Each structure stands twice: as C-alpha cells, then as structure tokens.
Amino acid sequence: MSDNMKIHLKIWKQDGPKDKGSFLERTQEGVSSDMSFLELMDVVNEGLVKEGQRPIEFDHDCREGICGMCSMVINGNAHGPKKLITTCQLHMRSFKDGDTITVEPWRAKAFPVVRDLVVDRSSFDRIIEAGGYVSVNTGGAQDANCLPVPKKDADRAFAAATCIGCGACVATCKNASANLFVSAKIAHLNLLPQGKVENEERVINMVAQMDAEGFGACTNTGACEAACPKGISLENISLMNREFTKAMVKARS
C-alpha cells in the first residue's frame, strides 16, 4: 500500500448551529495508508493552523471503537465505507490515491450541529435518563447461581448492551429514527431479571422521550442495523414494540 497518497477532501465547516455551513475543499498530500481517518483529520488541522486558519472541530475520545464519539458521515456512509467499525477504526488503506472524500456531520433534527462535524447528542442522554433505574436489594452481593438466566436471554441482553450510542443509526435512517438505539437500551435491561421490575414504566417513558426529542418513525428498511458499528439487531426494535404495546394496554386497562 502507498505511503504517499494524495487525497482530495470536502469537509463540512459550520461556525455554529444558526450559521450557514459550506464545504472546505482541500488536498492533502503524503497520506500514509496506515493512518486512521482521525489521524488524517489531525494532519489536516495541523496544516490549517500553520496557515492561520481555524481547525476543523470533530468529536473523538478513546479512538478504540468504544466511546462512539467519532461521528462522521464519510462519502455518504456513517463511519465510512467499512462495516462494523467506527470512524476511528477506519484506515486510509480503505481509500485509493487520488480519491475524493466528502466528510459531513450527523444530520438530524434531534442532533443539531454545534460546530463543523460536532453535533449535540444530549437527546440520547435524556432518553436514557427517562428509563430510570433498576431496583435491587441492598446488602451483600447475591450468588450468581441464585439468579438463573436463560442463556438465550443473556446472549441477547449482552449483544444489545454493546450499543455505544454513537448515533450512526439515526444518521443513516432517512427518517432520522432512534428506534435501534432506544430498543437496544430497553432490551439489555428488560431481558434480564434485574430489569423486569420497571420494564413497563421504562419502555413507556423512553419511547415517549424519544418522540419528544423529534426523532422520526422507523422506516423498516434495516439501514440502521447495516450502519451500526456494533451490529445491533433489528430484533430489538420488535421486542421494544411488543413491550410497549403490552405496557400501554395494561396502563389503560
């Protein structure tokens, strides 16, 4: 692989939520195929600073595919062209010398742009807060064998719990739906005995908060699962819908 690629970039720049943004076009030379995409952004920013220009703001934290902060739409794909990875795990060997790469922020009403590629995802935090807590008895830790959990339920709960809340599902859905995210957070608690005490209240409150935040309806196209870096299953949305219907019927009766 080449260690001296030339990459043409079109990167979204927007000074603030109410400002009109535009694409910054820039050619970056000497790009190593071993660079991660965020390292490429670092190099671009170094060049901008040397030229006396404002660097491009973007979110990042762990750079290990765990935190979900590195939210970028790259050539129309959330987190880029590769499957089951975050932006920080995307390397420049996925591109070719001379390629043009367009970089944009998550675009959704519930994810307003803060600046450039940074969006406000606090709506996700408010949805989680609406779910409340899990009731547990205080005192000594219970022996694991005293609380049997069917392996199928445990596997589904752990799989749902891998959601990192990055918002790729929202950025990919043409309706900007958060159903995959919300259903994953509901599933990983409602499937386990510890979370069943508040399961009805939890699903009603979280779905209500999701709607209040302005997320759209599920399209049933499966784009969210395809874009999810952790491969969260659409089955969780079915579980959420079933749990929500049961909870609403019981609440009204």
Residues 6+ apart with CB under 8 A from 166: 68, 69, 70, 71, 79, 86, 229
Superfamily assignment of 5-114 in CATH? Beta-grasp domain (3.10.20.30)
Backbone phi, then psi, for 57, in 5-degree steps?
-90, 135
Q: Using one digit for the tens of pLDDT, what is the confidence trace for 149-170?
A: 899 999 999 999 999 999 999 9
pLDDT of residue 137: 67
Per-residue pLDDT of the chain (253 residues; tens, 9 = 90+): 457 899 999 999 999 999 999 999 999 999 999 999 999 999 999 999 999 999 999 999 999 999 999 999 999 999 999 999 999 999 999 999 999 999 999 999 999 999 999 999 999 999 999 998 877 666 676 676 777 889 999 999 999 999 999 999 999 999 999 999 999 999 999 998 888 889 999 999 999 999 999 999 999 999 999 999 999 999 999 999 999 999 999 999 8
Domain 121-252 has CATH 1.10.1060.10: yes
pLDDT at 134: 79
β-strands 5-13, 100-104 pairing: parallel
Model's pTM, two decimal places?
0.93
pLDDT number for residue 196 = 87
CA 27 to CA 44: how far, in whole Å? 9
Please report, for the chain, the start and end positions of each structural domain, with discontinuous segments joined by +: 5-114, 121-252
Sequence-ordered strand ranges (E) for the chain: 5-13, 22-31, 73-74, 77-78, 100-104, 113-115, 118-119
**According to the model, what pLDDT value does residue 141 have?**
67
